[in-house]
Amino acid sequence: MKNILILILLITNLLTHTSAQEDPEAKSTKKIDETTFEEKEQKLIDYSNIKNVLINDGLEKQQEQREKLVKQIKVERKSISKDKYFYPTEEDFWDFISELWLVKNAQILSWDFPKPEYGIDVAFKNLLEKLGYFNKHFKILIVNTPTVVHFGLPAGKDSYIFLLSLPFVRSLDLTKVDIALVLLEDFFRLESKTFINNLKVDTTILGTNFYDTEVKKDFIQTVLKNYSRVIFDEGFDFQQQYEVTKEMDRVLKSDPALWGAYFRVINKIDKFIKSDLLYQKYLKIYPSPELQIQWLSPKKKVI
Amino acid sequence: MKIFVFIFLLSTSSFAQTTMGRKYFSNFLGHVHKSMSKDATSLTIVQCSHSVKILKENNLLADWNYVQVGEDKGYVQSEFLTDKKPDCFQEKYPKFYNSVGLDISEMYYWGKLYDQYFQGKSKIK
């Protein structure tokens, strides 16, 4: 008797555990019929055939109300379905497309490699706070290639993605403060939407609905193509460079140590890109450190 | 009799699922790692708002969680998990997201992206 009792206990124990382990998500995979009772009823019964019976029984009004309700359900259902067919808003789009571009160019950029904590994120955060830029969320991606030296990509309101070349940082022996200043330049370019403007893509479809039309698949391809064009080949023009340099000058002037560090970084970059063939393209993307030095240098007074 | 009771207790402890609760994955895509390292082998890919089972693990590093996703048990960085269901791009724009047609290798890289980022946020004044 005792043995039987113990056996029963063991079996129930096993059963309760297996049922507890059952994934609740598995249950949710069962297909749910979304059709309401009223709609099913409407489908099943042809009221036109029994119209006279309904009039005799005084149920015509009730039937009208029922038809109205089914109509309303159909409208609501269409509206719910329509909600799934929106293009992302401008706010949500840039983070998505910037990351999609990074994913599509993972091999060229070579960012998927083991790396230690460099402390760049902390240095940049401190710099932003020191200069009064609060509540800014940033993601820094270290790339193991000289193809892209440093670049800022849009990621929505108060959000930024920065690319930074490890070979570049090593070749120039940049300190954390130097790197933070280089990223600050990219931060200002993003704040002024220079990169988005240089893409020259029509973004008016963002936030609109495509329920009644086909989704424009070529839109994404066009944006990605233009990302590559600006990041790899065209970069920024002289006017844009002048504006960002002047902004850096204006912001950093209140802190002579930082201003000096920035001036030294530009000098370092200028000398380096003139001597290293690998970085000759830098001038095309950021024209030009030599001019930046001139724009930053105090003007000599002619007496 | 004592032996049977001992076996019964043993079976209870060995079958017990030491679940600490459930959390949601909050990034766009990510990985469940074999060990507590960003560069460790990926066991499976998880999408935003995927519910994961939090399991008990004694030698856990501070910023990692031991989780179960389907049959796989592995590690996810704590900052990637939330108690509240997150707002996800995939759920907000399902038809647009499907139209992009990400393949498995792109999904893999997208997950890796969040392992490779150094993220930060300047304080709120």
> Nearest CA of chain B to the CA of A250: how many Å?
21
> Nearest CA of chain A to the CA of B37: how many Å?
10
Q: How many CB atoms lie within 10 A of CB A282?
A: 22
> Nearest CA of chain A to the CA of B124: how many Å?
5
* Predicted complex ipTM: 0.86
Largest CA distance in chain A: 116
Q: Decide if A142 and B15 are in contact by the 8 Å CB cutoff.
A: no
- Which residues in chain A are closer than 8 Å to B1, comparing Cβ atoms? 2
Helix (H) or strand (E) holding B76: strand B72-77
Give me the residue from B4, B109, B120 closest to A125, CB to CB.
Answer: B120
Q: Decide if B121 and A92 are in contact by the 8 Å CB cutoff.
A: no
Helix (H) or strand (E) holding A25: helix A24-28
Question: N- to C-terminal Cα distance for chain A?
Answer: 116
* Sequential DSSP letters for A55-74: HHHT-HHHHHHHHHHHHHHH
Structure tokens at B123: 């304080």
SS3 B56: coil
The whole-angstrom separation of Cα A231 and Cα A109 is 11
Please check whether residue A234 is in contact with residue A283, taking contact to mean a CB–CB distance below 8 angstroms. Answer: no
Q: Does A55 touch chain B (CB under 8 A)?
A: no
Rg, Å, chain B Cα set: 18
One-letter amino acid for residue B65 of the chain: N
Q: Does A125 touch chain B (CB under 8 A)?
A: yes
Structure tokens at A223: 């944006």
Please check whether residue A164 is in contact with residue A172, taking contact to mean a CB–CB distance below 8 angstroms. Answer: no
The per-residue pLDDT string of chain A (303 residues; one tens digit each, 9 = 90 and over) reads: 556 655 565 555 544 444 444 444 443 434 456 667 766 776 776 667 777 776 777 777 777 888 888 888 888 887 788 899 999 999 999 999 999 999 999 999 999 999 999 999 999 999 999 999 999 999 999 999 999 999 999 999 999 999 999 999 999 999 999 999 999 999 999 999 999 999 999 999 999 999 999 999 899 999 999 999 999 999 999 999 999 999 999 999 999 999 999 999 999 999 999 999 889 899 999 999 999 999 999 876 666
Question: N- to C-terminal Cα distance for chain B?
Answer: 68
Q: Decide if B122 and A133 are in contact by the 8 Å CB cutoff.
A: yes
